[in-house]
Amino acid sequence: MEWNRALRYKKFDDWSDQDKKELLEKVQHSPWRMDVHIQPRSGLLNDPNGFSYYNHQWHLFYQSYPMGPVHGLKAWYHLISDDLTHWEEKGLALVPDNPYDSHGCYSGSALPVDDKLFIMYTGNVRDADWQRYPYQIGAWMDGANKIEKIKTPLIASQPDHYTDHFRDPQVIRRNDRYYALLGAQNDQLIGEIVLFESEDLSNWSFIGPLNISDQSLGFMIECPNLIFIDEKPVLIFCPQGLDKNILDYRNIYPNVSLIGDQINLDKATFVSNHALHNFDEGFDCYATQAFNAPDGRALAVSWVGLPEINYPTDPYGWAHCLSLVKELSIKNGQLYQNPVRETATLRQDHAQSQGTLDRQSRIIIKDCAPAYEFAINLRGKGSCRLALAKNETQSLDLDIDFQTGMLTLDRANAGVPFSEAYGTARCTTISKDEPLHLQIFIDHSIAEIFVNHGYKVLTARFFPNDDQTQISLRASVYLDYNYDYWRLSK
């Protein structure tokens, strides 16, 4: 089937029941479905949206094109949880059904206001010439999870001097008023984060672009987030086309974070003495959504996927997943990410061991489950290789060079190749000659690797052939290790 425009934008109701049944069957035959991660029942999942705490539960939505593994007519899919870990699927919640979102309910956010959840998102509209019109739209969800869209757009067009790339509102409350951050492209074709403010959520006025950098950060900024950690403003966003001299990155588009020292939303000023960082040092992480939860935590969840890249699940009628929910903190001026503590509720069958290796290799676990958590302390000389999801011929490899302080995640030999044009390895620095702690989550076709208690994270999809049930270690010189292992299950 060729995914032409007519097919991608065909209304969901115009697909036959037979089409839908065949698609679900295709997905059922897919290898690589996960046990504990959020994945689409069918079709494509992308950005997390509307992540919030409302009516005593966590709410999370994601961008969904349910009819195939391509970017088509986007809707919001809704999930609810008591613990950020076990999610109940509620189905499609926002679907394109009116002149202001006819070509997709694009990304946005949510904020509890009185006894309702206020949703703000981008309505994507195309005319007959395929010219794009972005509308910023509001909706209210009630305690029964019933959503009512506000009839007229909150922001009816982009401000003067901006192109139609204007989307992904994050609505926040601060200083007794509401602000929205939007991803935008100015008429010089430079990406910006722009600010709007409102007293009543109905009337919105343009403040201006947030002055995050003297340099151009690329041609478009998608999915901006502002959160506060220890009172410091932190921005997380996706600067498409960012110059690699400003920040080295390997993925098609980066997802970055920037810790600030001060922000004045009314004046659109942001002061930072920190550098831009990759939010994730792995292969597949984009469109992270973060918010300040009422319990005081700064929480984030990422799309584990990238725009414009084909994945090996495509022939099975689905694509992508969300990351585990992560708690963000700042330590020594650095952004840390750790899986939320509730993730531990997935643990089953604990195993533990330790040992020493002297210029040798050893299979340290023989019968891993397809979904597991593995936490290991490594202290060594020279270098070592941790081979995950391993069988005789394939593995996802972590190479650690204690001497140079370099950690490399290599998926070249991990299964079905994909996205090779962007390289098959990702490197990141660690402290030289220091012990290393890794907390690793493997779930069939995703690895999330937290380095030194959240100092760095490397996220990767990989698509192994089955029966990859081992973990092995190899030491070039000398290695001391101890580990904890749990099978993961919901």
Q: Which residues here bind ligand FRU, judged by CB under 6 A?
A: 46-47, 63, 74, 106-107, 122, 167-168, 222-223, 287, 307
Four-CA torsion 249, 251, 252, 255, nearest 10 degrees: -70
Among candidates 371, 280, 378, which has minimal Cα distance to 326?
280
From the list 35, 47, 82, 433, the catalytic residue is: 47
Least distance CB 328 / ligand FRU (angstroms): 20
Residue 248 neighbours by CB distance under 10 Å: 10
Least distance CB 92 / ligand FRU (angstroms): 14
Report yes or no: 303 and 431 within 8 Å, Cβ to Cβ.
Answer: no
- Residue closer to ligand FRU (CB basis): 168 or 373: 168
Tell how strand 105-113 and strand 116-126 pair up.
antiparallel
Report yes or no: 409 and 397 within 8 Å, Cβ to Cβ.
Answer: yes
- Residue closer to ligand FRU (CB basis): 185 or 313: 185
Least distance CB 238 / ligand FRU (angstroms): 7
Least distance CB 426 / ligand FRU (angstroms): 20
- Residue closer to ligand FRU (CB basis): 75 or 451: 75
Q: Quick check: helix, strand or coil at residue 45?
A: strand
- Residue closer to ligand FRU (CB basis): 124 or 292: 124
Among candidates 191, 149, 202, which has minimal Cα distance to 166?
191
Question: Within 13 Å of residue 124, how many CA atoms lie on the same side as its CB?
Answer: 21
- Residue closer to ligand FRU (CB basis): 167 or 426: 167
Query: Distance (Å, rounded) from C-alpha 365 to C-alpha 351?
Result: 10
CB burial readout 311-324, b (16+ within 10 A) else e: bbbeebbbbbbbbb
47 catalytic per annotation: yes
Question: Where is 22: in which H helix or E strand?
Answer: helix 17-28
Question: Where is 7: in which H helix or E strand?
Answer: helix 5-8
Among candidates 328, 317, 342, which has minimal Cα distance to 291?
328
- Residue closer to ligand FRU (CB basis): 101 or 399: 101
SS3 string, 366-425, reads CCCCCEEEEEEEEEEECEEEEEEEECCCCCEEEEEECCCCEEEEECCCCCCCCCHHHCCE
Least distance CB 308 / ligand FRU (angstroms): 10
- Residue closer to ligand FRU (CB basis): 59 or 167: 167
Residue 297 per-residue DSSP state: -
Least distance CB 243 / ligand FRU (angstroms): 20
Least distance CB 287 / ligand FRU (angstroms): 4
Report yes or no: 207 and 197 within 8 Å, Cβ to Cβ.
Answer: yes
Least distance CB 228 / ligand FRU (angstroms): 23
Cα–Cα distances in angstroms (integers) from residue 459 to residues 19, 60, 239, in the given order: 33, 20, 19
Among candidates 473, 397, 403, 454, which has minimal Cα distance to 431?
403
Backbone region of residue 19 per phi and psi (left: phi > 0; alpha: psi in -120 to 50; beta: other values): alpha
- Residue closer to ligand FRU (CB basis): 106 or 463: 106
Q: Which residues participate in catalysis according to the annotation?
A: 47
